[in-house]
């Protein structure tokens, strides 16, 4: 797996290229979807599904296992998930809040069903978590439109 870039180098990447990422549409036994309240830009101040970037020289399977472990506390195999599709997420801001630099993600969204007891949810990216039905999610003013598109 590749090492993380320094902040300035990563900002150059964000300015000049799209990022490739995986989003996790985690459903419980009742069909409710896990959302985290974003602490960081982009999408700061919105409910959003967990996910993360794919690193250089990291296979999709490696990335999926790492992202599920980091975001959910449990490493999952990609073949246990259902690919929902590919999505563009284009933001006018960036992780460093530098004016004039937007962020473009090409996202692979995967649906997974998990027991809530299996999860160990970190607080680095999200200050709080909630479960919403698809109807609640699509009607909530602070669920990001990119997350609403998954349902």
**71 a known binding residue?**
yes
DSSP assignment of 40-58: SSSSTTSEE--EEEPPTT-
Interatomic CA distance for residues 43 and 38, integer angstroms: 6
Within 10 angstroms of residue 41's Cβ, the number of other Cβ atoms is 16
85 is in an annotated binding site: no
* b/e map 3-37, b = 16+ CB within 10 Å: eeeeeeebbeebeeeebbbbbbbbbbeeebbbbbb
**30 in a known ligand binding site:** no
Is the CB of residue 102 less than 8 Å from the CB of residue 92? yes
Where is the binding site for Mg(2+), in residues?
51, 71, 125
Where is the binding site, in residues?
51, 71, 125
């Amino acid at each position: 797996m590749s090492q993380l870039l320094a902040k300035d180098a990563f900002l150059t990447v964000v300015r000049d290229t799209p990022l490739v990422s995986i989003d996790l549409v985690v459903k419980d036994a009742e069909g409710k979807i896990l959302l985290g309240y974003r602490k960081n830009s982009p999408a700061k101040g919105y409910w959003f599904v967990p996910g993360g970037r794919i690193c250089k020289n990291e296979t999709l399977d490696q990335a999926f296992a790492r992202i599920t472990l980091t975001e959910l506390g449990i490493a999952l195999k990609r073949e246990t998930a259902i690919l929902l599709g590919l999505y563009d997420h284009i933001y006018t801001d960036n992780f460093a809040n530098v004016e004039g630099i937007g962020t473009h993600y090409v996202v692979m969204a995967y649906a997974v069903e998990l027991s809530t007891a299996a999860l160990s949810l970190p607080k680095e990216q999200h200050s709080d978590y909630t479960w919403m039905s698809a109807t609640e999610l699509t009607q909530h003013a602070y669920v990001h439109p990119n997350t609403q598109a998954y349902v």
